[in-house]
Amino acid sequence: MQSDFSILFQSEEEATRWVLIFYYFLAYKFFGEDPAGYHTVNILFHFFNSLLCARLFQVLFRDSRVAALSGFLFAIHCAPYEAVYWVTTAGLLMGTTFSLCAVLFSIHYWAAGRWHLMIGAIGTYAAAVLSYETLGVVFLPIAFLWWKQKRFSRHYFILPVALIDVAS
């Protein structure tokens, strides 16, 4: 990847992670072999994911306190330590970013019905799966919870969504 971009289309082992491979290609062009740049980008991804988590809770519960607490807990939680610390786990951070964006795009599409929001949801969902395959499953439970929210009080969803937040 460092010298030949065409390997993106030849490697069978990493064939499902095109977005991640493209990220490493660009990152190498900017940072070379210096790990400080990669680490800084990982920290920025984690910070952005914390903001996206807070935004998701704001959309789901319409409560700024719950949203702020959710974003803060996501930011300080020790589970993504390796994803932030290791250069090789940037795919998890990128996949989380794209997964959260896909959920937010989908929720806004269902609320507004604008087709460009659905295209954004499909694009970010595809980018999530092409960054880190297993993150594609986070989309369905959160979307289901939002759909059910229209029928029930928001209090029914605080525990399940909090568990999804901690699990992610």
- pLDDT tens, 120-130? 888 888 888 77
pLDDT, the chain, mean: 77
**Whole-angstrom Cα distance, residue 12 to residue 97?**
25
- pLDDT tens digit sequence for 10-19: 655 555 677 8
Tell me the average pLDDT across 154-158. 50
Lowest mean pLDDT among 18-22, 42-46, 89-93: 18-22
In this structure, which amino acid lies at residue 14?
A: E
* pLDDT for 38 beyond 80: yes
Give yes or no for a contact between 99 and 128, defined as CB atoms under 8 angstroms apart: yes
Task: For residue 152, name the pLDDT band (cuts at 50, 70, 90).
Answer: very low
pTM over 0.85: no
How far CA 152 is from CA of 44, 61, 66, 149, in Å, comes to 36, 12, 18, 5
Give yes or no for a contact between 47 and 75, defined as CB atoms under 8 angstroms apart: yes
DSSP 8-state code for residue 66: H
Give the pLDDT score at 67. Answer: 92
Domain range summary for the chain, segments of one domain joined by +: 5-167
Give the pLDDT score at 50. Answer: 94
Give yes or no for a contact between 18 and 8, defined as CB atoms under 8 angstroms apart: yes
Task: For residue 23, name the pLDDT band (cuts at 50, 70, 90).
Answer: confident
* pLDDT for 93 beyond 70: yes
Tell me the average pLDDT across 36-43. 91
For residue 37, count other CB atoms closer than 10 A to its CB.
Answer: 15
- Among candidate residues 104, 100, 109, 106, the one with its CA nearest the CA of residue 136: 100
